C-alpha cells in the first residue's frame, strides 16, 4: 500500500515539472491539473495514519517531544467573548507557559485584537497570527476579505490565517479560490500566509489533496487543516495527506510550505502522533516551529501537565494550571 | 441437551463502562481454600489515571445534583441490590467464613447500610451546617460541601465493607475511585453492574481491581485527587508512604483502621470528606 502511494507520487512529480509553470493560466488548466492529481487511497491513508499513531514514545524521547510540541503551539483564542484582557493573559502564558518550558510559536487572535497581542509579545520572538477573510465561513466579497487582511497586517500581525471559499471549491470554481489567495497574499506584504482548507467540509481525501495543491500553487506559506469551528477538524489521515502534498510540492518546485493541523488536538498523545507523522512523511526538515505548527488552546495545558508528570513523578492536576 | 457454562469475565468499571485493563493483564482469584474462582483484571496506573479523569468529569454533575436526588439514587442502588440478593450471596459465599447463611446476612446488612446512608443525603447539611451568630448586620451561614474526587482503598470484606466505605463518600456529592480488595475483588465488579443500572451517573464510582501496592501510591500522589481513604491498606509501610504522598496537595486522609462493619457506622466517614463553606450575607433593610 505504501509502495503504491510512492509510485503514484513519482508519476505526479514527473507530470508536474512539465506543466507547473502555466498550470494556473486558465480555469480549465487549473482544473485539469488538480483533477489529474493521483487519487488518495482512503483505506491506505487511514491505516497508515493509524499505524504511525501506535508508535511508543517514552521517557527522554517523550520529554523532548513535549518541549518540541510546546514550541510549535499556536496558542489560540477565537471566541465571540474574547476581550483585550483575555488576550493579554493568554500572551503572558505564551511567553512563559510553565517553569523552564519553552515559549510557544505564536498567538492566534481575531483581527481587532491583533494590536493588543502585538503589544503584549513585542520583542519576545513569539509571533502574532490573525485569522482574516471573513473567518470562519469565508462568505464575503474579495474586497472585504482583502481589507480584513490589511487591517490585521497594519495592526502588527506576523501571520495571516485565511479561509478558502469551500462553496466555490466544492462547485469546482478553483480559479476563484486561486485568485482570492493571490489577492490576500498580496495584501499580506511581509506577513506569512496560512491557508485554511477546512477539511471537515471538503468531504473526500481527494479534495484535501487538490485543495492543498491549489493553495500551494497560489502562494500559501502554510496550509492549515481547519478553523476549529467545524467537526471533524484535524484528523491524522488528513494531516498525513497534507504532509505528503508539501513534500511532493517541494520536490517539484523547490519551495517549502509549512503545515498546521488545528482543532481537535487536545492531548499530548495527539500532539506526539502528529510529530511522528511529520517525521515519517515529510521528514525532519519540517520538524521545527518554522514549518510545523499545532493550532490549539486546551492542548497546551495537557502538554504542561505531562511535562510536570515527567519532572515530578506524580500525575498533575488541572487545578494547578491557568485556564486560558 | 447439556449447555456450555457461560463464564464471566470480570473487568474494570471506569466512567460508566466496563473496560479491560489498558495493560491487558489479569490475575487469578481463589477462595481462601485455594480453589480457582475466576480471573480478574489487573489494573495499571494508567487505568487509575483514566478513572480519576472519569471521576473528575462526573463531579460537577453529581455534586450539583440535589441531595434529595442523590438519596433517591442511593436508595435505588439498594433496591437493585435487593433484587440480586441470591447472586451476591452465591458469589461471596466461597470467600467468607460461615457459608451461605452468613453470606445472605451480609447482603442484607449491605442493603440496610445503603438505605441508611441514602437517608442522610438531605440531613447531613442540617447536622454539619450552622447559622453562626455574628456581631454585625449579617447572616453568617456555614454549609458542608463535598471535597471532590476521593480515592478509596477498599477493605477486605468484599461487599459490606466495600459499600460501607463507598456510600458515605458519594452520598454527600463526592465522586470516587475505588481500589477493590485484592484477594476478593469479584463482588466489587458485580456491585459495579448494580451501580451501572441504578441511575448512578457514570464516573461517580469507578472500580479498579488489581494490586493495592501498585495502584494506591499513584492515587495518593495524584494532584487531581482531593481525598484519600486508606481503610483497606493492611501494610503499615505502604500506608505511611501513601499518607506522605498525599500531603503534597493536602488531601483529606482517612487512616487505615480495623473496623467492625456490622456496628453502627456513625457520620464520621461522611464528614471526613466534607469541607465547610461559610458565607456572609448582609441583612436586608
Hey, are the CB atoms on A315 and B224 less than 8 Å from each other? yes
- Does A105 map to a domain? yes
Residue A8: predicted pLDDT: 46
| One-letter-per-residue 3-state SS of chain B | CCCCCCCCCECCEECCECCCCCCCCEEEEECCCCCEEEEEECCCHHHHHHHHHHHHHHHHHHHHCCHHHHHHHHHHHHHHHHHCHHHHHHHHHHHCCCHHHHHHHHHHHHHHHHHHHHHHCCCHHHHHCEECCCCCCEEEEEEEEECCEEEEECCCCCCHHHHHHHHHHHHCCCEEEEECCCCCCHHHHHHHHHHHCCCCCCCCEEEECCCHHHHHHHHHHCCCCCEEECCCCCCHHHHHHHHHHHHHHCCEEECCCCCCCCCCCCCHHHHHCEEEEEEEEECCC
pLDDT at B47 over 80: yes
Contact (CB, 8 A) for A104 and A70: yes
Residue A12: predicted pLDDT: 52
For position A306, which CATH number holds? 3.20.20.70
Hey, are the CB atoms on B245 and A314 less than 8 Å from each other? yes
Residue A323: predicted pLDDT: 82
Average pLDDT of B50-75?
97
Separation in Å, CA B116 to CA A174, B112, B156: 71, 6, 22
Hey, are the CB atoms on B222 and A313 less than 8 Å from each other? no
Residue for cell digits 477498599? Answer: B154
Which residues in chain A are closer than 8 Å to B223, comparing Cβ atoms? 314-317, 319-320
Residue B32: predicted pLDDT: 86
Residue A122: predicted pLDDT: 95
Q: Band the pLDDT of A22: cuts 50, 70, 90.
A: confident
Q: Band the pLDDT of A7: cuts 50, 70, 90.
A: very low
Catalytic residues of A: 161, 224, 260
pLDDT at B200 over 80: yes
pLDDT at A245 over 60: yes
Distance of CA B217 to the CA centre of its chain: 17
CB atoms within 10 A of CB A96: 13
State how far the Cα of A273 lies from the Cα of A293, in Å rounded to an integer: 13
Which residues in chain B are closer than 8 Å to A314, comparing Cβ atoms? 221-223, 245, 248
Start-to-end CA span in chain A (Å):
42
pLDDT at B93 over 90: no
- Does A320 map to a domain? no
State how far the Cα of A297 lies from the Cα of A289, in Å rounded to an integer: 16
- Does A302 map to a domain? yes
pLDDT at B146 over 80: yes
Residue A20: predicted pLDDT: 78
Hey, are the CB atoms on B223 and A316 less than 8 Å from each other? yes
Which residues in chain B are closer than 8 Å to A313, comparing Cβ atoms? 221
Average pLDDT of B159-170?
96
Taking the whole predicted model, whether its pTM rises above 0.80 is answered as yes
Hey, are the CB atoms on B249 and A317 less than 8 Å from each other? yes
pLDDT at B87 over 50: yes
**B45 vs chain A: nearest CA distance in angstroms?**
10
Distance of CA A222 to the CA centre of its chain: 6
Which chain B residues have any C-beta within 8 angstroms of a chain A C-beta? 49, 52, 56, 218, 221-225, 245, 248-249
Mean pLDDT of chain A: 92
**A315 vs chain B: nearest CA distance in angstroms?**
5
* % of residues, chain B, pLDDT over 70: 100
- Does A226 map to a domain? yes
Q: Band the pLDDT of B52: cuts 50, 70, 90.
A: very high
Hey, are the CB atoms on B248 and A319 less than 8 Å from each other? no
- Does A321 map to a domain? no
- Does A323 map to a domain? no
State how far the Cα of A155 lies from the Cα of A121, in Å rounded to an integer: 13
pLDDT at B1 over 80: no
Q: Band the pLDDT of B285: cuts 50, 70, 90.
A: low
Q: List the single best residue of B60, B224, B226, B228 to mutate versus A (max A Cβ within 10 A).
A: B224
pLDDT at B8 over 90: no
Q: Which domains does chain B have, with CATH numbers?
A: 43-282 (3.40.605.10)
* Residue A90 neighbours by CB under 8 Å, 6+ apart: A75, A77, A107, A324
Question: Count of domains in chain A?
Answer: 1
pLDDT tens profile A260-271: 999 999 999 999
ipTM of the complex: 0.87
Q: Note down the domain range covering A57.
A: 2-312
State how far the Cα of A156 lies from the Cα of A117, in Å rounded to an integer: 9
Hey, are the CB atoms on A317 and B224 less than 8 Å from each other? yes
Residue A19: predicted pLDDT: 58
Residue A16: predicted pLDDT: 54
The sign of the dihedral angle between the CA atoms of A37, A39, A44, A47 is positive
pLDDT at A3 over 80: no
Q: List the single best residue of A317, A320, A321 to mutate versus B (max B Cβ within 10 A).
A: A317
Contact (CB, 8 A) for A89 and A314: no
* Residue count of chain B: 285
Dihedral pair phi/psi, residue B255, rounded to 5°? -75, 160
pLDDT tens profile B203-257: 999 999 999 999 999 999 999 999 999 999 999 999 999 999 999 999 999 999 8
Residue for cell digits 478553483? Answer: A174
String of b and e for B222-232 (b: at least 16 CB within 10 Å)? Answer: bbbbbbbbbbb
Q: How many A-B residue pairs are in contact by the CB < 8 A criterion?
A: 25
pLDDT at A18 over 80: no
Beta-sheet strand order (sheet of A294-296): A258-260, A222-224, A192-196, A159-163, A127-132, A106-109, A73-76, A294-296
* % of residues, chain A, pLDDT over 90: 90
* Residue B24 neighbours by CB under 8 Å, 6+ apart: none
* Residue B91 neighbours by CB under 8 Å, 6+ apart: B186, B187, B190
- Does A322 map to a domain? no
- Does A256 map to a domain? yes
* % of residues, chain B, pLDDT over 90: 86
Amino acid at each position: 500500500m505504501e509502495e503504491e502511494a510512492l509510485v503514484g507520487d513519482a508519476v505526479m512529480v514527473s507530470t508536474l515539472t512539465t506543466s507547473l509553470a502555466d498550470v494556473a493560466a486558465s480555469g480549465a488548466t487549473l482544473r485539469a491539473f488538480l483533477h489529474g492529481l493521483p487519487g488518495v487511497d482512503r483505506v491506505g491513508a487511514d491505516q497508515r495514519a493509524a499505524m504511525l499513531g501506535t508508535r511508543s514514545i517514552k521517557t527522554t524521547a517523550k520529554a523532548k517531544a513535549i518541549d518540541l510540541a510546546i514550541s510549535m503551539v499556536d496558542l489560540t483564542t477565537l471566541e465571540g467573548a474574547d476581550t483585550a484582557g483575555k488576550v493579554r493573559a493568554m500572551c503572558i502564558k505564551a511567553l512563559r507557559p510553565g517553569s523552564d518550558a519553552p515559549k510557544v510559536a505564536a498567538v492566534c487572535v481575531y483581527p481587532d485584537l491583533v494590536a493588543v497581542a502585538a503589544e503584549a509579545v513585542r520583542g519576545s520572538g513569539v509571533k502574532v497570527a490573525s485569522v482574516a477573510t471573513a473567518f470562519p465561513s469565508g462568505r464575503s466579497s474579495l474586497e472585504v476579505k482583502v481589507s480584513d487582511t490589511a487591517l490585521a497586517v497594519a495592526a502588527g500581525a506576523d501571520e495571516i490565517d485565511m479561509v478558502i471559499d469551500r462553496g466555490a471549491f466544492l462547485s469546482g470554481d478553483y480559479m476563484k479560490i486561486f485568485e482570492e489567495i493571490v489577492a490576500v497574499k498580496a495584501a499580506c506584504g511581509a506577513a506569512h500566509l496560512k491557508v485554511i482548507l477546512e477539511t471537515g467540509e471538503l468531504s473526500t481525501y481527494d479534495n484535501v489533496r487538490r485543495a492543498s495543491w491549489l493553495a500551494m500553487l497560489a502562494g500559501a506559506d502554510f496550509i492549515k487543516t481547519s478553523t476549529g469551528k467545524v467537526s471533524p477538524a484535524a484528523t491524522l489521515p488528513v494531516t498525513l495527506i497534507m504532509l505528503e502534498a508539501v513534500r511532493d510540492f517541494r520536490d517539484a518546485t523547490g519551495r517549502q510550505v509549512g503545515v498546521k493541523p488545528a482543532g481537535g488536538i487536545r492531548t499530548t498523545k495527539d500532539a506526539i502522533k502528529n510529530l511522528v507523522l511529520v517525521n515519517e512523511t515529510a521528514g525532519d526538515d519540517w520538524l521545527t516551529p518554522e514549518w510545523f505548527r499545532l493550532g490549539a488552546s486546551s492542548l497546551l495545558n495537557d502538554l504542561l501537565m505531562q511535562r510536570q508528570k515527567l519532572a515530578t513523578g506524580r500525575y498533575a492536576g488541572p487545578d494547578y494550571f491557568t485556564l486560558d | 441437551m447439556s449447555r456450555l457454562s457461560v463464564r464471566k469475565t470480570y473487568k474494570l468499571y471506569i466512567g460508566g463502562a466496563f473496560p479491560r485493563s489498558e495493560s491487558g493483564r489479569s490475575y487469578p482469584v481463589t477462595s481462601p481454600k485455594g480453589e480457582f474462582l475466576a480471573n480478574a483484571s489487573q489494573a495499571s496506573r494508567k487505568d487509575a489515571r483514566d478513572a480519576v479523569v472519569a471521576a473528575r468529569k462526573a463531579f460537577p454533575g453529581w455534586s450539583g445534583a440535589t441531595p434529595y436526588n442523590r438519596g433517591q439514587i442511593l436508595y435505588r442502588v439498594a433496591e437493585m441490590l435487593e433484587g440480586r440478593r441470591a447472586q451476591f450471596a452465591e458469589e461471596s459465599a466461597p470467600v467468607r467464613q460461615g457459608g451461605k447463611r452468613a453470606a445472605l446476612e451480609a447482603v442484607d446488612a449491605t442493603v440496610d447500610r445503603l438505605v441508611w446512608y441514602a437517608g442522610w443525603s438531605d440531613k447531613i447539611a442540617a447536622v454539619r451546617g450552622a447559622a453562626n451568630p455574628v456581631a454585625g448586620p449579617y447572616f453568617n451561614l456555614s454549609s458542608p460541601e463535598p471535597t471532590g474526587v476521593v480515592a478509596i482503598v477498599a477493605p477486605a470484606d468484599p461487599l459490606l465493607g466495600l459499600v460501607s466505605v463507598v456510600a458515605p463518600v458519594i452520598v454527600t456529592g463526592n465522586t470516587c475511585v475505588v481500589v477493590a480488595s485484592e484477594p476478593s475483588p469479584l463482588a466489587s465488579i458485580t456491585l459495579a453492574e448494580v451501580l451501572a443500572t441504578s441511575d448512578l451517573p457514570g464516573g461517580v464510582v469507578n472500580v479498579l481491581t488489581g494490586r493495592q501496592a501498585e495502584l494506591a501510591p499513584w492515587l495518593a500522589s495524584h494532584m487531581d485527587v482531593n481525598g484519600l481513604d486508606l481503610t483497606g491498606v493492611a501494610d503499615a509501610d505502604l500506608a505511611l508512604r501513601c499518607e506522605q504522598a498525599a500531603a503534597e496537595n493536602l488531601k483529606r486522609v482517612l487512616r487505615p483502621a480495623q473496623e467492625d462493619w456490622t456496628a453502627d457506622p456513625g457520620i464520621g466517614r461522611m464528614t471526613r470528606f466534607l469541607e465547610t463553606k461559610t458565607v456572609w450575607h448582609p441583612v436586608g433593610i
